[in-house]
C-alpha cells in the first residue's frame, strides 16, 4: 500500500514550510487549515469558480484542483503574500476605487487572475479582459466594475491615464 | 432632493461641509477584503471545535427504517454520531406559517429528519469529527435503511386526488391559496379589441453564493451561553430562533456576523442543518462548525421561482390596456420555510402583476403546493422577476398584436408621473413614482430610434437583433406589514448608536448587516454627515447581537433606507449632545454652534471654536470642570421605522439589446440599460453596482440557471459544471441612470435599490429575444431559462 501521508517542503509567501500532509489534501485546504492562510477561499471545490486561485511557481492555479503533495519543492504565493509584497497594490487600489467587489469572496482570486493578464503587457480590450476572467465567478458585481478596474490599471501601467 | 433643513446657518443638511450624502465614497471595509484579511465564518476556528458532516437522503421521499451508526462511531476522529430522534431531545421543531397569509399551513420540521426524509438532500444523521474530512469519511460508514415512498414532484398534479399527501396531518398538498379581484375584469375582456393569452414557465433556480452557508456554534456550559458565528442577514431574528428552539432565554444567545460571502436572500432563512449544528454544540458542550460544500448548497440552499402562470391581457386598438388576469401555480418543496414562509413569493406575484400600469381591472389566483423537492423561499427580488416578466411580456405581446411600438404602449398606460399618490389594481399604495421620466431617460440613453434603425439594417443582412424593455416597481423599506403583523419576530425597525470616542472620532453601531452591498459605508456616510466629522473618523460596528441596537438586518432593500435613516438621526442627536457640552465649556449658546469637519465652529461664520478631541477630553477626563449638575451624554441612539407607508415602492425600467444566432440558438447580450428611482441616492456608486449585480443575477435566471429535477425528485445538475451561472465573458456592459423621487417617510428620503436589477432583467431579455425572432415567424417564447433549445424550438428548428 502506498503511503497516505507525505512530508513536503515548499516556500509559501517566501517562508519555508515543512509539513506532513494527507495525500488527498488539496492545496487550498492545506493553506487554509494547516497554514491559517484564509485569504484563499474554497468556493465550488471543483475548479469552476476561481475563488481558490493562488500562484504556484509564478503561474495561477486552482487551489482546489492542486494537491498539497504536488507542491513539494514549489514556491506558492497567496493573496496575503502578494498583498504584503506590494505586487497587487495598484490593482487593489483600483478595485477599491471602482467598488469592483462587494462581498469580497472572489476578490483574492480575481486580483491574482488580473495580475496574470496584466503581466502579459499592453492594454487588453474589454472583451479580452472578460474572456480572461471566464473561470472566475462573481455573484455580486455583474463583472462590469471588475472589467473597469482592470482596464484602468492596464492603461495606467501603459502610461495612459487611468 | 429632499433633506430637512436643520442647520441654523442656512445651509441644508445636504450642503453641510461634511455631507457625504450623494457622494461615491469608497467603502471602509474594502482594503481588508482585497488583501485576504477578511474573516468569513468559513475562516473561523475555535479551541475544541468539531466539524459536522451530514448523511443526506438519496431519496426524495423515504421512510427511515433504521440507522446503523456503529462503524461510524469508532471511525478515526469521530466525536459523535447523532440521529434526528436524538437531536429532537435538544431542539424543538418549527412550523413556517404567518397569520397574515390567511390559511397558510405547513408541517413541523426537525433539524434532522425524524422517521421520514422529504427531499433528496435532507439530513438524516449527523457526524461530528475532529476534521471535516474525517466527518465525511465516517458518514460513508453510516448505514441508513430506507423505505422509498412515492415522491410528489409535479406541482401540476400535486393537488389531484390520486396524488399522495406528503403530510397526512395537513389533509392535502395545498400550502397557501390567494384570490384577488378588482374592477370589472369579465367586462374588460368582453369589450377588448385584442386578448393575448399564454402560459409562462419560470425554472427553479438558486442563489449560488460564492461562500456557502457557514456557521460555528459554541455552547459554553460554564456560562450557560451560546455564541453563534453565522453568515446571516438577520442576526437578531436568528438569536430569537436559536433561543426559542433550544429552550433558552434570548440573552443567553449571541449571534456574531462578520464578513459574509454573498447572501441575496439565501442567508435570511432557518436551515435545518444550521439549526442542527447549534443543537449539536449544546448537546456536545463544545464548538461545532458546519460549512456547506457546493453539492450540499445545491440541494439545501433555498431554491426560488418555479412558477407556472396562465396569464392574459386585454387591450384596445388604441393601446389602452384594460385588464390583466393570472393563475399562478408554484411548488415549494415539502415545508414552508421558517419563519418567513414560502407563501410570500406567490403573494408578491399577485401584488405586483400589472403594478406599473393604471389598468383598474385585475383578477389573480395563486396556489402554492407541497412537493418532494428542496424547499423554496425568498431569494433576491422575491416575486418581482415573475410578476415583471408576466406583465411586461404580456404588454409587448399585446403591442405586437396591435402593431404598436413597445415604448408607445407604455407611454399610454404607465401611471402618470403627476398622478401620485395612487393605488394599483392589486391594492398597493404608491407614494411617488416616475415611470414616464424613467422611460424618457432610457430611450435617450440607448438612442432608441438609432438602435431601431440599426436593427432594421442588420436584419436586411440576416443578423437578428432584438430590443426589449421591462418597466417595474420594487418593494423596499418594508414596515411591520411585511412580517411583524403576521406574528414573526422579525424587526422592521432598526437602530443606530453613535458614540464619541476620547479623541473625537465616532463609533456607530447599527442593526443592519453587511454582505457586500455597502451597508457599512452607507451607515458611516449618514452618521458622519449628520454629526459633522470626516469619514476617516467613523468606525462602524455591525453584526453582533450583544453590541448593536435591536434591528432587522439587511434584506428586502432596507439597509440604506431604514438603517441609514437611523444612523442619520443618531448622528444628529449626538451632535446636539456634543454641542451642549461645547456650549457649556465655551459659555456659548448651543444653537449658535455647529460641528464641521470634526471641530466645533460658530454656525454663522464657521470660525473654529473647539476640537472634538478637546470636548471629549474634558467630558471624559475632567468632568469636574463642567458646571455643577451638567452631565455630558456622548452617546446617542435613535431608531427608525417607516410609518406613513407600508412599503417605499421604487420604480424603473430596463432595456436589453441582444443578438440571436438562429442556427445555434445562442444569445449574445450586447448591451443593457437600467434607469431606476430609489429616491435620495446616498452613494451613487453603490447604487449603480447594486443595480448592475442585480441585473446580472436576473440575466442568469433568464438564460442559464435551472435546478433540473427528474420525475423521482432527483436534482440532476447540482454542481457548478452543470448548473450554469453568468460568467464575465457572456455578460454585457450595463449603463445605469437615475430619477430621484424621495420618500416623504424619512428625512433622507432614501428608498432601497438592491433588487431592482433582478426584478426587471429576465422580462426584458425575453422581450428582446422575442423582438429578434418575431419577424421570422417564431413562436413567442414564454419560458426561462431561455436555452438554445428553447430558441430553436420557437423557430421550429428542433
Q: Which structural domains are found in chain A, ordered by start?
A: 5-82 (3.10.20.30), 88-157 (1.10.150.120)
Count of positions (residues) in chain A = 162
> B352: helix, coil or strand?
helix
B587 belongs to a structural domain: yes
Read off the pLDDT of each residue in B485-492 and give the average, rounded to a whole number: 92
Q: Contact, A101 vs B514, CB < 8 A?
A: no
- Name the residue with cell 439545501: B300
Q: Could you tell me if B533 and B678 lie in one domain?
A: no
B65 found inside a domain: yes
Asked, for residue B674, whether it belongs to a domain, the answer is yes
Q: What is the pLDDT, as a whole number, of residue B119?
A: 98
B31 touches chain A (CB under 8 A): yes
B508 close to B496: Cβ distance less than 8 angstroms = yes
Residue matched to cell numbers 485546504: A29
Q: Are residues B636 and B671 in the same domain?
A: no
Q: How confident is the model at residue B465 (pLDDT cuts 50, 70, 90)?
A: very high
State whether B625 and B515 are in the same domain: yes
Q: From the CA atom positions of chain B, what is the Rg in Å?
A: 28
Mean pLDDT for the stretch of residues B218-243: 97
In a domain, B787, yes or no: yes
pLDDT exceeds 80 at position A1: no
The pLDDT score that the predictor gives to residue B69 is 97
Question: Distance between CA atoms of B175 and B173, rounded to whole angstroms?
Answer: 6
The arithmetic mean of pLDDT across residues B783-796, rounded, is 98
Over pLDDT 70: what percentage of chain B?
98
Contact B725 A137 (CB under 8 A): yes
- Beta carbons within 8 Å of B660's beta carbon, 6+ residues apart: B464, B465, B466, B666, B667, B668, B769, B772, B773, B791
pLDDT in tens, A4-49: 999 999 999 999 999 999 999 999 999 999 999 999 999 999 999 9
Three-class secondary structure of residue B563 per DSSP: helix
Interface of B with A in 256-295 (CB under 8 A): 259-264, 293-294
Residue B101 counted as domain residue: yes
- The answer to whether residues B665 and B615 belong to one domain is no
pLDDT grade for B481, boundaries at 50, 70 and 90: confident
- One DSSP character per residue, A139-152 reads SSS-SHHHHHHHHH
Residues of chain A in contact with residue B671, where contact means CB-CB under 8 angstroms, are: none
Predicted confidence (pLDDT) at residue B366 exceeds the cutoff of 80: yes
Q: Which residues contact B755 (CB under 8 A, 6 or more apart)?
A: B380, B381, B382, B384, B474, B476, B556, B557, B694
Nearest CA to CA, how far is B220 from chain A (Å)? Answer: 24
Residue in the block written with cell 435566471: B701
User: Which of these three, B584, B605, B640, is where a domain ends?
Assistant: B640
Q: What is the CATH number of the domain that holds B131?
A: 3.90.1170.50
pLDDT of residue B87: 98
Question: Of the candidates A51, A96, A137, which has its C-beta nearest B30's C-beta?
Answer: A96
Lookup: cell for B547? 453590541
Region B757-763: mean pLDDT is 98
In Å, how far from its chain's centre is CA A81? 11
Tens digits of per-residue pLDDT, B47-98?
999 999 999 999 999 999 999 999 999 999 999 999 999 999 999 999 999 9
The answer on B534 and B445 residing in a single domain is: no
pLDDT grade for A159, boundaries at 50, 70 and 90: confident
DSSP code for A30? I
- Residue B195 pLDDT > 80, yes or no? yes
- Judged by CB atoms within 8 Å, which residues 129-148 of B form the interface with A? 131, 133
What integer pLDDT is reported at residue B13 of this predicted model? 59
> Which of B728, B736, B756 is the best mutation test for A, with the most CBs of A within 10 A?
B728
Residues B514 and B468 in one domain: no
Does some domain include residue B733? yes
CB contact under 8 A, B30 and A99: yes
Distance CA B143, CA B245 (A): 29
* Cross-chain CB nearest to A104 (options B33, B42, B685): B33
Average pLDDT over residues B740-761: 96
Cell of B271: 436551515
pLDDT over 50 at B7, yes or no: no
Q: Would you say residue B12 has pLDDT above 60?
A: no
Among the listed residues B341, B361, B360, B362, the one whose alpha carbon sits nearest the alpha carbon of residue B350 = B362
CA distance B573 to B612: 15
Is B3 a residue whose pLDDT tops 80? no
Closest residue in B to A45 (Cα–Cα): B294
Cell for B485?
403583523
- A41 to B261: CB separation less than 8 angstroms, yes or no: yes
Position B59 scores a pLDDT of 98
Task: Say whether both B25 and B91 belong to one domain.
Answer: no
3-class secondary-structure state, position B44? coil
Nearest to B731 by CA among A78, A141, A89, A10: A141
Residue B189 has pLDDT above 90, yes or no: yes
Count of the separate structural domains present in chain B: 3
The SS3 assignment for B750 reads: strand
> pLDDT tens-digit profile of B108-153?
999 999 999 999 999 999 999 999 999 999 999 999 999 999 999 9
Nearest by CB to A140, from B42, B212, B262: name it: B262
Q: Which grid coordinates belong to B263?
A: 447572501
Report the pLDDT value the prediction gives residue B629, as an integer from 0 to 100. Answer: 93
Which pLDDT score is estimated for A3?
A: 85
Q: What is the pLDDT of residue B678?
A: 97
| Mean pLDDT value across residues A77-94 | 98
Same domain, B429 and B450: yes
- The reported pLDDT for the residue numbered A49 is 97
Which DSSP state fits B188? H
Look up the domain containing B132 and give its range. 41-149+212-260+266-300
Q: How many CB atoms lie within 10 A of CB B528?
A: 29
Asked if the structure places residue B326 within a domain, the reply is no
Place of cell 454641542: B579
Boundary-marking domain end, from B640, B659, B686: B640
Q: What is the pLDDT of residue B437?
A: 98
A117: β partners: none
pLDDT value of position A160 = 62
Contact between residue B658 and residue B464 where contact means Cβ atoms under 8 Å apart: no
**Inter-CA distances, B699 with A102, B125, B720, B765, B793, Å:** 18, 37, 17, 7, 20
Last residue of a domain, one of B624, B640, B656: B640
- B691 and B732 part of one domain: yes
Out of B36, B727, B734, whose CB is closest to A137? B727
SS3 (DSSP) at B118: coil
Mean pLDDT of A77-90: 98
Whether this prediction's pTM lies above 0.95 is answered by yes
Residues B503 and B536 in one domain: yes
DSSP annotation string for B254-311? EEE--B-S--TTGGGS--HHHHHHHHHHHHHTS-EEEE--HHHHHHHSPEEEEEEEEE
pLDDT over 50 (residue A110): yes
Lowest mean pLDDT among A77-81, B25-29, B200-204: B25-29
DSSP state of A73: T
Regarding whether B78 and B32 lie in a shared domain, the answer is no
Min Cα–Cα distance to chain A from B719, Å: 8
* Rounded-to-integer distance, Cα B599 and Cα A136, Å: 46
Name the more confident of B4 and B675.
Answer: B675
Q: Is residue B317 part of a domain?
A: no
Start-to-end Cα distance in chain B: 54
Confidence at residue B693, expressed as pLDDT on a 0 to 100 scale: 98
Please give the Cα distance from B763 to B388 (Å, whole number). Answer: 6
Whether B762 and B616 map to the same domain: the answer is no
Continuous segment of H or E residues that includes residue A7? strand A5-12
Measured distance CA(B212)–CA(B120) in Å, rounded: 19
**Residue A2 pLDDT grade (very low, low, confident, very high; cuts 50, 70, 90):** confident
Q: Report helix angle A144-157 to B684-703, nearest 10.
A: 120
Q: What is the pLDDT of residue B9?
A: 40
For B536-567, how does the pLDDT look when each residue is reduced to its tens digit (9 = 90+)?
Answer: 999 999 999 999 999 999 998 899 999 999 99
Q: What is the CATH number of the domain that holds B687?
A: 3.30.365.10
Contacts of B731 in chain A (CB under 8 A): 130, 142-144
What pairs with residue B539 in β-bridges?
A: B507
> How high is the pLDDT of residue B18?
76
Amino acid at each position: 500500500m502506498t503511503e497516505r501521508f507525505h512530508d513536503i517542503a515548499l516556500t509559501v509567501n517566501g517562508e519555508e514550510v515543512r509539513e506532513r500532509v494527507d495525500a488527498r489534501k488539496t492545496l487550498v485546504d492545506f493553506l487554509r487549515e494547516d497554514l491559517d492562510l484564509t485569504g484563499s477561499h474554497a468556493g465550488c471545490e471543483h475548479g469552476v469558480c476561481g475563488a481558490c486561485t493562488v500562484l504556484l511557481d509564478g503561474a495561477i492555479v486552482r487551489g482546489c484542483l492542486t494537491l498539497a503533495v504536488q507542491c513539494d519543492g514549489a514556491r506558492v504565493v497567496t493573496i496575503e503574500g502578494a498583498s504584503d509584497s506590494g505586487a497587487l497594490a495598484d490593482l487593489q487600489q483600483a478595485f477599491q476605487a471602482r467598488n469592483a467587489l462587494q462581498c469580497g469572496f472572489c476578490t483574492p482570486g480575481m486580483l491574482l487572475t488580473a495580475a496574470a493578464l496584466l503581466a502579459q503587457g499592453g492594454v487588453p480590450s474589454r472583451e479580452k479582459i472578460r474572456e480572461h476572467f471566464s473561470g472566475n465567478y462573481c455573484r455580486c458585481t455583474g463583472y462590469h466594475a471588475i472589467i473597469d478596474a482592470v482596464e484602468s490599471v492596464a492603461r495606467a501601467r501603459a502610461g495612459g491615464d487611468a | 432632493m429632499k433633506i430637512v433643513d436643520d442647520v441654523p446657518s442656512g445651509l441644508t443638511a445636504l450642503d453641510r461641509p461634511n455631507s457625504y450624502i450623494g457622494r461615491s465614497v469608497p467603502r471602509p471595509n474594502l482594503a481588508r477584503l482585497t488583501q485576504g484579511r477578511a474573516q468569513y465564518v468559513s475562516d473561523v476556528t475555535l479551541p475544541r471545535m468539531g466539524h459536522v458532516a451530514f448523511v443526506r437522503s438519496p431519496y426524495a421521499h423515504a421512510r427511515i427504517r433504521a440507522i446503523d451508526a456503529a462503524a461510524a462511531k469508532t471511525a478515526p476522529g469521530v466525536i459523535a454520531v447523532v440521529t434526528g430522534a436524538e437531536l429532537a431531545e435538544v431542539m424543538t421543531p418549527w412550523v413556517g406559517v404567518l397569520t397574515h397569509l390567511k390559511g397558510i399551513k405547513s408541517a413541523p420540521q426537525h433539524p434532522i429528519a425524524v422517521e421520514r426524509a422529504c427531499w433528496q438532500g435532507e439530513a438524516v444523521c449527523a457526524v461530528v469529527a475532529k476534521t471535516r474530512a474525517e466527518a465525511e469519511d465516517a458518514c460513508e460508514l453510516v448505514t441508513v435503511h430506507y423505505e422509498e415512498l412515492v415522491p410528489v414532484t409535479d406541482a401540476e398534479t400535486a393537488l389531484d386526488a390520486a396524488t399522495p399527501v406528503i403530510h397526512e396531518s395537513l389533509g392535502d398538498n395545498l400550502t397557501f391559496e390567494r384570490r384577488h379581484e378588482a374592477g370589472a375584469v369579465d367586462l374588460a375582456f368582453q369589450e377588448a379589441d385584442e386578448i393575448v393569452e399564454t402560459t409562462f414557465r419560470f425554472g427553479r433556480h438558486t442563489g449560488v453564493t460564492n461562500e456557502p452557508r457557514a456557521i460555528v456554534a459554541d455552547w459554553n456550559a460554564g456560562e450557560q451561553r451560546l455564541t453563534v458565528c453565522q453568515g446571516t442577514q438577520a442576526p437578531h431574528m436568528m438569536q430569537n430562533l436559536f433561543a426559542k428552539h433550544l429552550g433558552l432565554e434570548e440573552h443567553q444567545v449571541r449571534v456574531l456576523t462578520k464578513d459574509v460571502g454573498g447572501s441575496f436572500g439565501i442567508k435570511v432563512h432557518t436551515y435545518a442543518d444550521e439549526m442542527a449544528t447549534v443543537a449539536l454544540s449544546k448537546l456536545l458542550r463544545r464548538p461545532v462548525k458546519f460549512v456547506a460544500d457546493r453539492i450540499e448548497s445545491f440541494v439545501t440552499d433555498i431554491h426560488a421561482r418555479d412558477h407556472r402562470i396562465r396569464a392574459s391581457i386585454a387591450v384596445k386598438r388604441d393601446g389602452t390596456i384594460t385588464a390583466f388576469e393570472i393563475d399562478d401555480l408554484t411548488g415549494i418543496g415539502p415545508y414552508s420555510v421558517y419563519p418567513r414562509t414560502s407563501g410570500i413569493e406567490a403573494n408578491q406575484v399577485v401584488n405586483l402583476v400589472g403594478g406599473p400600469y393604471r389598468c383598474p381591472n385585475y383578477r389573480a389566483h395563486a396556489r402554492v403546493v407541497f412537493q418532494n423537492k428542496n424547499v423554496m423561499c425568498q431569494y433576491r427580488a422575491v416575486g418581482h422577476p415573475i410578476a415583471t416578466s408576466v406583465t411586461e411580456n404580456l404588454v409587448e405581446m399585446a403591442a405586437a398584436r396591435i402593431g404598436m411600438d413597445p415604448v408607445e404602449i407604455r407611454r399610454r398606460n404607465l401611471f402618470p408621473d403627476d398622478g401620485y399618490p395612487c393605488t394599483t389594481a392589486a391594492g398597493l399604495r404608491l407614494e411617488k413614482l416616475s415611470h414616464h421620466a424613467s422611460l424618457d431617460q432610457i430611450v435617450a440613453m440607448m438612442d432608441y430610434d438609432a438602435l431601431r434603425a440599426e436593427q432594421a439594417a442588420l436584419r436586411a443582412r440576416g443578423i437578428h437583433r432584438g430590443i426589449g424593455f421591462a418597466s417595474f416597481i420594487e418593494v423596499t423599506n418594508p414596515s411591520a406589514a411585511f412580517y411583524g403583523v403576521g406574528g414573526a419576530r422579525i424587526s422592521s425597525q432598526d437602530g443606530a448608536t453613535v458614540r464619541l470616542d476620547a479623541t473625537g472620532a465616532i463609533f456607530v453601531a447599527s442593526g443592519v448587516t453587511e454582505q457586500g452591498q455597502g451597508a457599512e459605508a452607507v451607515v458611516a456616510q449618514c452618521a458622519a454627515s449628520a454629526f459633522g466629522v470626516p469619514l476617516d473618523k467613523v468606525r462602524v460596528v455591525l453584526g453582533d447581537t450583544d453590541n448593536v441596537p435591536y434591528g432587522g438586518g439587511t434584506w428586502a432593500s432596507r439597509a440604506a433606507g431604514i438603517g441609514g435613516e437611523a444612523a442619520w438621526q443618531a448622528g444628529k442627536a449626538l451632535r446636539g449632545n456634543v454641542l451642549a457640552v461645547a456650549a457649556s465649556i465655551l459659555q456659548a449658546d448651543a444653537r449658535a454652534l455647529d460641528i464641521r469637519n470634526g471641530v466645533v465652529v460658530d454656525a454663522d461664520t464657521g470660525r473654529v471654536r473647539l476640537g472634538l478631541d478637546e470636548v471629549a477630553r474634558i467630558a471624559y477626563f475632567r468632568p469636574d470642570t463642567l458646571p455643577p449638575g451638567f452631565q455630558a451624554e456622548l452617546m446617542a441612539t435613535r431608531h427608525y421605522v417607516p410609518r406613513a407607508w407600508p412599503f417605499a415602492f421604487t420604480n424603473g425600467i430596463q432595456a436589453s439589446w441582444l443578438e440571436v444566432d438562429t442556427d445555434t440558438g445562442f444569445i449574445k447580450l450586447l448591451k443593457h440599460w437600467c434607469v431606476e428611482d430609489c429616491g435620495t441616492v446616498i452613494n451613487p456608486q453603490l447604487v449603480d453596482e447594486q443595480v448592475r449585480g442585480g441585473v446580472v443575477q436576473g440575466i442568469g435566471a433568464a438564460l442559464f440557471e435551472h435546478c433540473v429535477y427528474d420525475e423521482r425528485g432527483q436534482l440532476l445538475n447540482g454542481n457548478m459544471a452543470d448548473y450554469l451561472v453568468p460568467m464575465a465573458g457572456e455578460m454585457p456592459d450595463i449603463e445605469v441612470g437615475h430619477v430621484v423621487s424621495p420618500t416623504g417617510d424619512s428625512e433622507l428620503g432614501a428608498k432601497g435599490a438592491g433588487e431592482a436589477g433582478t426584478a426587471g432583467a429576465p422580462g426584458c431579455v425575453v422581450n428582446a429575444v422575442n423582438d429578434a425572432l418575431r419577424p421570422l415567424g417564431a413562436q413567442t417564447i414564454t419560458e426561462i431559462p431561455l436555452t438554445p433549445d428553447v430558441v430553436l424550438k420557437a423557430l421550429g428548428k428542433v
